[in-house]
Structure 1
Amino acid sequence: MRLKSLILGAAAALAVASPSLAQELTAITGGRVLTGTSVIENGTVVLRDGRIVSVGTGAAPSGARIIDARGKVVAPGFVAVDSGLGGSEVSSVRGSNDLSNSANTISAAFDVSYGLDPWSITLPVARLGGVTRAIVTPSHSGGGGGNHRDDGDTDFAGAGAGGFQTPGLFAGQAAIVHLAQGNDILVKARVAMVAPFGEAGAGVAGGARGAEFTQFKETLAEVRLFARNQRAYDRAGLRDLSLSRADLEALIPVANGTMPLIVTVHRAADIQQVLRLAREEGVKVILDGAEEGWLVAAQIASANVPVLLNPTANLPSNFEMRASRMENAAALQAAGVVIAIKGNEGSIHRAREMRFNAGNAVSHGLSYDAAIAAITVNPARIFGMGGQFGELKAGAAADVVIWSGDPLEPLSQAEAVYVGGAAQPMSSRQLLLHERYRTGGVQANGMPPAYGQ
């Protein structure tokens, strides 16, 4: 029957090209190559065994399979930050959203990597937009970029069940994923901790910003006490602590400065206080949102703190964003801040729009090269993966996209996508449905597909 043929055809269309293609020597030649840090005209990118062998202007090596990219643009795969890709299907359907957690015994220890879905229909859509890697972050009330929980509840700090802190100050731990088709998309788990500050953080801590900072400092003191006295804790020889053992253990790398803390913050005054807190406590922070960051750009740069932002945020939607403006990205970059540009609405269904946001930032003063870096090499470096993906250089993962034109132009399309050197299917559920119903879903005999022979 035609329905069975359609299903089999869809499966075939979504199958990855032969894995051997990732192993053979392949040369992409003649294109305008954006490496993430430079531009090479009429360049040659050589791939083998899932890695980039070389990038330059030389001829293709003997015996290589040639992919002609003349008139095209060859770029690294984009890296989505502050994303929910693979962790949420429909945010309003609780059972399909594994990005948030409300158990008071598990807050900092919440690990989004265990809820990832390699078969999520959101992944091919993002991949068709040139996204090949993502930093998946747990969501919380007031989260940046739309990746937040808005359940209508007002939570305040206090002792919950078991005497543990509730709600927690921490949303959980982020993970890095790749978007290649397959049954395992996890690249690295527990790459950063996530916490809301500003208005959202104040709400969690009891209603005032000062309360959250005090509670945060007390929490770190407890974590350090626990780290020094774990044997005493095990034999109940330590005073009661406000976090569960799982949360205490998860926060040790934050307290000792080895795991970065993604801090959602918007107001310039709050940014200043977060920088002060990081300095006093020896915590490594990444600012998320920072819509008023341009007002304190020099201080952010001096502290060597990177920023994840949406450069199109320019409306004073609340008192935390009174000074938001489209030139934020340009001002931060000019001051020496390392920036990464996000997609829209949680970078899930609209993760691919990160390239449009980067283009908008260029139209408001950010240099083109800086915009490309902000969606490729910068995110990788911010999360400790510099040189491993996000740029076209020898030794990096062969995440390569061939574009019909400038990738920051909305009309340009990805014509080929490689993740780890493997060619990816250029299809998605939406495109398959379009093909099925573009004629109204009716066959020549006047019957729907399910009834055709």
Structure 2
Amino acid sequence: MTNLGTFVAGAFTAALLSTSALAQDIAVRGGQVWTMGPQGVIENGVVVIEDGQITAVGPATSTAIPAGMQVLEAPVVTPGLVDAHSTVGLTGYLNQPDDQDQLDTTAPVQPHLRAIDAYNPHDRLVEWVRELGTTTLHTGHGPGALVSGQTMVVKTVGNTVDAALVEDGTMVVANLGAWALDRESSPGTRAKQIAMLRQALVDARTGTDRDENDADDEDDNAFDPSRDLINEAFASVVRGERPLLVTANRAQDIMSALRLADEFGIEVVIDGAADAHLLLDELREAGVSVMLHPTMARNEGELENASFTTAAVLAEAGIPFALQSGYEAYVPKTRVVLWEAGFAAGNGLAPEDALASITIDAARIIGMDERVGSLEVGKDGDVAMFDGDPFEYVTHVTGVVIEGEVVSTASR
């Protein structure tokens, strides 16, 4: 791929033409179109979107734009950005008790708490990250409990959570280490954390085996008064229906998560991974993906070994990873993945790998790569437009399209 640092604006200007807020059939022209797919970077390229999906991608000289179609133009065009792990929509921008729904502290294990029941599509931070190019969020409950809930995938549009929803119950969120310890109650130690997780998985596996043996004798539509929502959530992990997302930053906690994955044969995604540079062989052998801590996260406590260069180290080691906004305890309650990727690119990560970490690689890790993350025919018409190199501080996002709808024309 062409290095982003060699970008020259050329003849295109950052202009948005005929920007109807409800447009569904549009074309986006770019001095450079970074497809993040097989076509790589297309100089003087075009993306055609009809009925919310991409129907053509290619050079402007050979890609027909249907007559009368709305046309947007920008110097650089990329896929809409994908935030691999966020709490946006649950952590409100006001940072007041009434808009903070990312964590319930009444019990240490609550996998049945669903992000869909807490997400606020009208929170200002949803609009804020959208204006900065983020079109897809993998969002949900944050750290602070051993098992804090479930995540979901949404687009950063929609008047209701149902309108924004792409997938409910994407992953079950677990947290290891000091952030999820309760020295006065339970779990009070790391050993107790793993023991509690192991017991929950054992119970779920036992119940799953029993259900499979009794399946022929049961009426699927019958009311079952013995349903256990906690057990059902863990059972979905044991059955391989969704991953267990484990926030683990210290090497010892990462290794505990990998042992659980091996013991139960479950899919685990490692989140945070500040000590990942110490476990490259182990992570690669386990075949896990990593949602790396934000580069801007404060390097203290569990994150004392976090580094600006870890993304480059993981890329060199061939370990699948994505960048994220993560959980931010202070206002404004979220980070911006475009900034995170730009800072990683300034610290050893190749620009194309940095962009992949917030587009196609992020989409792949959250299981959404068939819909988002690259500009390819058949995928959602999600596009971000820039007036220069996306990773330069002076560059602005000049327009955002989600499924063919122009959702922002602000210069951010």
Band of TM-score, shorter chain: 0.7 to 0.9
CA shift in 2, pair 1:177/1:371, >3 Å? same
Conserved 8 A contact 1:129-1:352: no
Task: Note the C-alpha offset of 1:302.
Answer: 2.1
Distance 2:299 2:91 in 1: 28
Is residue 99 of structure 1 aligned with residue 102 of structure 2?
Answer: yes
Task: Note the C-alpha offset of 1:333.
Answer: 1.3
C-alpha RMSD over aligned residues: 2.7
Task: Note the C-alpha offset of 1:366.
Answer: 0.7
1:424 counterpart SS class: strand
1:346 counterpart SS class: coil
Task: Note the C-alpha offset of 1:401.
Answer: 1.3
Matching residue within 236, 253, 259 for 2:242: 259
Matching residue within 71, 77, 88 for 1:67: 71
Conserved 8 A contact 1:27-1:46: yes
Matching residue within 147, 154, 157 for 1:180: 157
CA shift in 2, pair 1:103/1:275, >3 Å? same
Conserved 8 A contact 2:34-2:41: yes
Amino acid at match of 1:209: R
Distance 2:87 2:294 in 1: 19
Is residue 195 of structure 1 aligned with residue 174 of structure 2?
Answer: yes
Conserved 8 A contact 2:86-2:326: no
CA shift in 2, pair 1:370/1:350, >3 Å? farther
Distance 1:372 1:262 in 2: 23
Amino acid at match of 1:67: V
Matching residue within 114, 134, 137 for 2:137: 134
Distance 1:226 1:402 in 2: 50
Conserved 8 A contact 1:81-1:341: yes
CA shift in 2, pair 1:418/1:98, >3 Å? same
Q: How does 1:54-453 map to 2 (within 5 A)?
A: 54-57=56-59, 58-63=62-67, 65=69, 67=71, 69=73, 72-90=75-93, 92-104=95-107, 107-141=110-144, 169-183=146-160, 184-203=163-182, 205-229=186-210, 245-312=228-295, 316-318=299-301, 320-343=302-325, 345-346=327-328, 349=332, 351=334, 353-426=336-409
Distance 1:67 1:345 in 2: 37
Amino acid at match of 2:57: V
Moved more, 289-298 or 204-213: 204-213
Q: TM-score, normalised by structure 2?
A: 0.83
CA shift in 2, pair 1:59/1:350, >3 Å? farther
Distance 2:333 2:106 in 1: 29
CA shift in 2, pair 1:329/1:90, >3 Å? same
Bigger helix share = 1
Instruction: Give the percent of matched residue pairs that are identical in Structure 1 and Structure 2.
Output: 28
- Give the match for residue 435 of structure 1: none
Task: Note the C-alpha offset of 1:215.
Answer: 2.0
1:86 counterpart SS class: coil
Distance 2:109 2:181 in 1: 20
Conserved 8 A contact 1:31-1:44: no
Distance 2:400 2:51 in 1: 16
Task: Note the C-alpha offset of 1:314.
Answer: 7.8
Task: Note the C-alpha offset of 1:427.
Answer: 5.4
Unaligned stretches of 5+ residues in structure 1: 1-15, 142-167, 233-242, 432-453
Task: Note the C-alpha offset of 1:245.
Answer: 1.0
Matching residue within 45, 65, 89 for 1:43: 45
Moved more, 325-334 or 85-94: 85-94
Matching residue within 4, 7, 17 for 2:20: 17
CA shift in 2, pair 1:273/1:88, >3 Å? closer
2:279 counterpart SS class: helix
- Give the match for residue 11 of structure 2: none
CA shift in 2, pair 1:197/1:106, >3 Å? closer
| Matched pairs, number | 373
2:254 counterpart SS class: helix
Task: Note the C-alpha offset of 1:30.
Answer: 4.1
Distance 1:45 1:192 in 2: 32
Task: Note the C-alpha offset of 1:65.
Answer: 1.9
